[in-house]
Structure formats: structure tokens, C-alpha cells
Structure 1
Amino acid sequence: MARRDYEDDPDAPEANSLVPAASVVVVDGESRILLQRRTDNGMWALPGGRMEIGESIGECAVRETWEETGLTVEITGIVGTYTNPRHVFAYDDGEVRQEFSVCLLARPTGGEIRVSDESHEVAWFAPVDVDRLPMVAGIRKRVDDWRAGLGPVVR
């Protein structure tokens, strides 16, 4: 399903849903960050997705990372919460979702990198190499907050 991000855009459609979600900054022993190139918009992104009934935000983060990258992870901290009501995601099925995401920090504990139906590529990147990658502003904020080491950020 195609997706378009709008942030602080006066032409953005009005939100019609709000879904808790997790994103994950996975960092390996070489201080590299795990990213995936999404099939819905072609941009590089953190693993993550919507929370399901019956799971915690941490369980959501672990599940989504496994589903999208093939890696198992251990949650080690929080990067921040991202709840900008002027940031919406418009899907081709008519859903326009207001941002509500908790970005967690994790380390890999097992598995092997693989793509999924949500990704074209999955790879590790040195933090300095991330700037050259195409990614939506909301994901770049999370990566920049992690790199800045600000501690938990609320946006």
C-alpha cells in the first residue's frame, strides 16, 4: 500500500485515525544503525509499525524489527516520543494517520538480515553515512535525536 508523509504542510489531508506505533534504532557493536528501504515510499527508514492489541510498546518494537529485518533485538532504552498532530501519513486506502510513535533503542541479539514484503533492502550504516540516504523528515528526526544523544525526546 502506498504511503505519503506530510509534515507541517497546509495541503495535507485531515487525519482520520490515530494508531500507537513503535520505531526502533537498532545499533550493533560497531555503532552502526540498521535501516530498511521501504516498499511503500522507497525511502530509508527505521524498523517499526503499529502496535497490536495485547502487546506492550516494547513487544511491538521487537516484533516489528523481526518481521521487517529478520533480526531479534533487546530493547535498551528510549530515543523519544513523536506525536506531532501536524504530521500525517496518507495511505492509498483512504486512511490518514496522525503521528503517534515511541522510538526505542535496541541492540541485536540474533537472526540474520533479510528483506520482507515491507522492504527492498535492509542494511547497516555508519552514522555519518545516514545523511546521504533519502528518508522522510520524521525518520531523520529520530535518527538525529539518537545521534545527538539528547536522552529521551518528546516531540
Structure 2
Amino acid sequence: MPTSDYVASIRSRIGNDFLLLPGVTAVIRHGDQVLLARHRHSGLWGLIGGGVEPGEEPAEALDREVTEETGARIRIRGIVGTYGGPHLMTTYPNGDRVGYVTTAYDCELLDEPTPTLEELLELGWFPRSAIENLQRHRWIDRVIDDALG
């Protein structure tokens, strides 16, 4: 995933030290199915999202991230919740340590996805019962459970 100019400027000063960042996550639903993405950097399935840039509204960041990763536009139906903690902390292959506090939004697609596959390996629609069998980021289970009730 490309590093934003903002994060790159901080990294130039702090190196690989831990950095806490705000994020947004899209829970894109159609009926009882959730759109998941298999991420290139980890090979794991997860929800679509990313970082909020300075001066950017979180909903704008979510729309930007979904469009960048899927080529589709979304309609936000509401907020699912806000998540953080150990399950949202990671060390990237380059050694950068990061933790995210992400706000998850309930969304629907307005267009058919046509992913660029720069950040993703593939997209897929899954019912909740199939998600537990995927190699995935475990933190998405809580978000999906909250979204689907």
C-alpha cells in the first residue's frame, strides 16, 4: 500500500517507531453478503479502507479509499463502530510499526467493482458463515458481527 506524503514526512523523523493513525473501514453489504478484499501486502482477506489524510473528512477518506481499491462508488448508510487495540497493530515488511483506530461504516455499492489490483489480489462477496473459513485479519470478525447484528 502506498505511503501518504503525511506519513512519509513523519517516518523521515521517527523511522520505524510506532505510529498511531486514524483510519476508515467500509463494511460493504449486499443482503447477507459482505464484500471482502484479499490484500496484496499480507495475502489476507479483509475489509476495504485506509488512512484519513490531514484536513480530510473521514467519510471523504472512505469514499476515496473504496474508489481507489475497487473503482466503485459507495453510499454510506451509517456508522458501525470505532475499533482499535492490539488486533489493529502491525509491523509492515519494511519494519514500520503502526496501530490504527478505525471508524467502520455500513455501506452499499453504487457501481460494479472493477479493482485496479494494485493493492488487492482479488475481491469477493461472502456470507458471514463463509468468512470464518478464510485466512483473514481477525479484527474484521468483530466489525462484521456488529454490522450484521
Superposed, 1:20-39 pairs within 5 Å as 20-28=22-30, 30-39=31-40
1:103 aligned partner:
104
Cα distance in structure 2, aligned partners of 1:100 and 1:76: 20
State the SS of the aligned residue for 2:110: strand
Alpha carbons of structure 1 residues 97 and 36: separation in structure 2 relative to 1, 3 Å: same
- Higher helix proportion (structure 1 or 2): 2
Structure 1 stretch displaced more, 138-147 or 46-55:
138-147
Gap runs ≥5 in structure 2? 2-15
Superposition deviation, residue 70 in structure 1: 1.8
Q: TM-score if structure 2 supplies the norm length? A: 0.81
Runs of 4+ in structure 1 deviating by more than 4 angstroms, as ranges, are: none
Structure 1, residues 51-96: CA drift from partner, whole Å, max 9, x if none? 1122111111111111112221011111110121574111123321
Superposed, 1:38-57 pairs within 5 Å as 38-57=39-58
Q: Is the 8 A contact 2:89 2:99 kept in 1?
A: yes
Alignment coverage as a number of residue pairs: 135
Alpha carbons of structure 1 residues 33 and 87: separation in structure 2 relative to 1, 3 Å: closer
Superposed, 1:1-155 pairs within 5 Å as 16-28=18-30, 30-84=31-85, 87-147=88-148, 149=149
Structure 1, residues 5-62: CA drift from partner, whole Å, max 9, x if none? xxxxxxxxx961011110110012x332111001111111100001112211111111
Cα distance in structure 1, aligned partners of 2:17 and 2:140: 19
Cα distance in structure 2, aligned partners of 1:87 and 1:62: 21
Structure 1 stretch displaced more, 122-131 or 36-45:
122-131
Superposition deviation, residue 111 in structure 1: 4.1
Alpha carbons of structure 1 residues 39 and 145: separation in structure 2 relative to 1, 3 Å: same
Tell me which amino acid in the other structure corresponds to 1:107: E
Structure 1 stretch displaced more, 81-90 or 130-139:
81-90
Q: TM-score if structure 1 supplies the norm length? A: 0.78
Cα distance in structure 2, aligned partners of 1:87 and 1:36: 17
Superposition deviation, residue 140 in structure 1: 2.1
Superposition deviation, residue 113 in structure 1: 3.2
Alpha carbons of structure 1 residues 24 and 72: separation in structure 2 relative to 1, 3 Å: same
Q: Is the 8 A contact 1:38 1:120 kept in 2?
A: yes
State the SS of the aligned residue for 2:73: strand
Superposition deviation, residue 142 in structure 1: 1.3
1:7 aligned partner:
none
